[in-house]
Amino acid sequence: NAGVTQTPKFRVLKTGQSMTLLCAQDMNHEYMYWYRQDPGMGLRLIHYSVGEGTTAKGEVPDGYNVSRLKKQNFLLGLESAAPSQTSVYFCASTRTSGPYEQYFGPGTRLTVT
Amino acid sequence: AQSVSQHNHHVILSEAASLELGCNYSYGGTVNLFWYVQYPGQHLQLLLKYFSGDPLVKGIKGFEAEFIKSKFSFNLRKPSVQWSDTAEYFCAVSSSFYNQGGKLIFGQGTELSVKP
């Protein structure tokens, strides 16, 4: 039981490049989330999904897109990376019944130059 | 607006000292409350959670937290810290209603440094 896994662990992009971050969970959770973590700002929700085929915007969605084609996977895309998107990205998942304890992946450290 | 505020950004303690980290939230309705810990270079792990019942909850590694509804607070405590408690601590809140998607709102985090 791997829990929540993220690919890749590290990535360096040039401004304007695109990339996709993959999150996978093997706990049969319905809900999945993408957060970014920046110093002094805690974690902020980018997008989330309450089930296969559904997505919704979080607190800081601009510049990101997501897709949930399979229940176990949640993809985060950057179409045209900007230096402001340099951050650590965490994926999380939880089941549909409360209290919604979220399980986190190991994170992806992204640097945009 | 919904928000979570952690009072201290950086706390430095000596081993065996007592710890209390403050957390206040602003959230309409019934809430679930969490404390997560992030050890250096690692992902977030759940320390403890409150969703109903006894407002004093106990978590892993000797941590506990008290939910005071009238003060909108959920402070984290530990009687005697160890060097291995050096980490960043995050308070978080979510709505307990099923149709809110279980979204978490995090505080800014408190970095705890414990000197041996």
**pLDDT score at B99:** 65
Cβ contacts of B98 on chain A, cutoff 8 Å? 96-98
Cβ contacts of B67 on chain A, cutoff 8 Å? none
Q: Among residues A93, A91, A94, which one has the least CA distance to residue A107?
A: A91
Instruction: Using CB atoms, pick whichever of A35, A42, A48 lies closest to residue B108.
Output: A42
Positions in chain B short of pLDDT 70: 97-99
- pLDDT higher than 90, residue A101: no
**Residue B59 dihedral angles phi and psi, to the nearest 5°:** -120, -160
Label residue A20 by pLDDT band (50, 70, 90).
Answer: very high
**pLDDT score at B29:** 79
Q: Where are any strands of DSSP class E within A1-113?
A: 4-7, 10-13, 19-25, 31-37, 43-49, 56-57, 65-67, 73-78, 87-94, 103-104, 108-112
**pLDDT score at B4:** 94
A43-93 pLDDT, tens digit each: 999 999 999 999 999 999 999 999 999 999 999 999 999 999 999 999 999
Strands A87-94 and A73-78: unpaired
**pLDDT score at A29:** 93
| Residue A101 burial (C-beta neighbours within 10 Å; 0-12, 13-18, 19+) | middle
Residue of A102, A103, A108 to mutate, interface with B, max B Cβ within 10 Å: A102
Residues of chain B numbered 8-47 and touching chain A (CB < 8 Å): 9, 32, 34, 36, 42-46
- pLDDT higher than 70, residue A98: no
Partner-chain contact A33 B96, CB within 8 Å = no
Outline where B23-95 has alpha helix (H). Answer: none
**pLDDT score at B97:** 67
The overall average pLDDT reported for chain A is 94
